[in-house]
Chains A and B, each alone.
Chain A
Amino acid sequence: MADPVLDLRQVTKSFGALVASDHVDLDLMPGEIHALIGPNGAGKSTLIKQIAGELRPSSGTIRFNGEDITAAPPARRATMGLARTFQVSALAPEFSALANVMVAVAPRAGGVFRFFGRALSDRALTEPAMAALQRVGLENRAEVPVSELSHGERRQLEIAIALAMKPKVFLMDEPMAGMGPDGSQRLTRLLADMKAEAPILLVEHDMDAVFALANRISVMVYGRVVATGTADDIRANPLVREAYLGGDDA
Chain B
Amino acid sequence: MRAETLFNLVLVGGLLAVALIAFGLEETFTITLVTKVAIFAIAGIGLNLALGQGGLVSFGHAAFFGLGGYAVGILSSHAQNYEPLMEWPFLVEGTTFMPVLWLVAVLVSGIAALAIGAISLRTAGVYFIMITLAFAQMIYYFAISWPAYGGEDGLSIYVRNGFPGLNTLDPLSFFLLVFAVLLLVVFLAARLQASRFGMTLEAARQNALRVTSAGISPYRVRLVAFVISAMITGLAGALYADLNRFVSPAMLSWQTSGEIMVFVILGGVGRLAGPIAGAALFVMLEHFLGGLAEHWQFFLGLALLGVVLFARGGLAGFVLKERGRG
Name A residues whose Cβ lies closer than 8 Å to a Cβ of B. Answer: 52, 73-76, 78-79, 83-84, 86, 90-95, 99-100, 102-104, 106-108, 110-120, 122, 125, 145, 161, 165
**Cβ of B215 under 8 Å from chain A:** yes
**Cβ of B200 under 8 Å from chain A:** yes
**Cβ contacts under 8 Å, A74 to chain B:** 212-213
**Cβ contacts under 8 Å, B200 to chain A:** 103, 106, 112
**Cβ contacts under 8 Å, A125 to chain B:** 196
Q: Which residue of B lies closest to A53 (CB)?
A: B212
**Cβ contacts under 8 Å, A93 to chain B:** 206-207
Between B191, B207, B224, the greatest number of chain A beta carbons within 10 A of the residue's beta carbon is seen for: B207
The answer to whether B324 touches A78, judged by C-beta atoms less than 8 angstroms apart, is no
Q: How far is the CA of A113 from the CA of B224 in the complex (A)?
A: 9
**Cβ contacts under 8 Å, B210 to chain A:** 90-92, 100, 103
Q: How far is the CA of A161 from the CA of B210 in the complex (A)?
A: 10
**Cβ contacts under 8 Å, A99 to chain B:** 199, 203
Per DSSP, chain B at the interface is helix
**Cβ of B25 under 8 Å from chain A:** no
Q: How far is the CA of A247 from the CA of B254 in the complex (A)?
A: 67
In the complex, how many angstroms separate the beta carbon of B212 from the nearest chain A beta carbon?
5
**Cβ contacts under 8 Å, B144 to chain A:** none
The answer to whether B203 touches A119, judged by C-beta atoms less than 8 angstroms apart, is no
Segment 190-249 of B: residues with Cβ below 8 Å from A: 191-192, 194-200, 202-203, 206-207, 209-217, 221, 224
Q: How far is the CA of A115 from the CA of B190 in the complex (A)?
A: 10
Q: Can you give 28 A-B contacts (C-beta < 8 A)?
A: A52-B213, A76-B215, A78-B215, A84-B213, A90-B207, A92-B202, A92-B210, A94-B202, A100-B203, A102-B199, A103-B199, A104-B213, A104-B215, A106-B200, A107-B215, A108-B215, A111-B196, A112-B197, A115-B198, A116-B191, A116-B195, A117-B195, A118-B191, A118-B194, A119-B194, A119-B195, A119-B196, A145-B324
What's the A-B contact tally at a CB cutoff of 8 Å?
Answer: 104
**Cβ of B325 under 8 Å from chain A:** yes
**Cβ contacts under 8 Å, B203 to chain A:** 92, 95, 99-100, 103
**Cβ contacts under 8 Å, A100 to chain B:** 203, 210
The answer to whether B213 touches A122, judged by C-beta atoms less than 8 angstroms apart, is no
Q: How far is the CA of A122 from the CA of B214 in the complex (A)?
A: 18
**Cβ contacts under 8 Å, B216 to chain A:** 75, 78, 103, 106-107, 112
**Cβ contacts under 8 Å, A120 to chain B:** 194
Q: How far is the CA of A122 from the CA of B199 in the complex (A)?
A: 12
Known contacts A113-B196, A115-B195, A145-B324; 6 further A-B pairs (Cβ under 8 A): A52-B213, A76-B215, A94-B202, A112-B216, A113-B197, A125-B196
Q: How far is the CA of A120 from the CA of B99 in the complex (A)?
A: 34
**Cβ contacts under 8 Å, B217 to chain A:** 73, 75
Q: How far is the CA of A187 from the CA of B203 in the complex (A)?
A: 26
**Cβ contacts under 8 Å, B197 to chain A:** 112-115
Q: Which residue of B lies closest to A120 (CB)?
A: B194
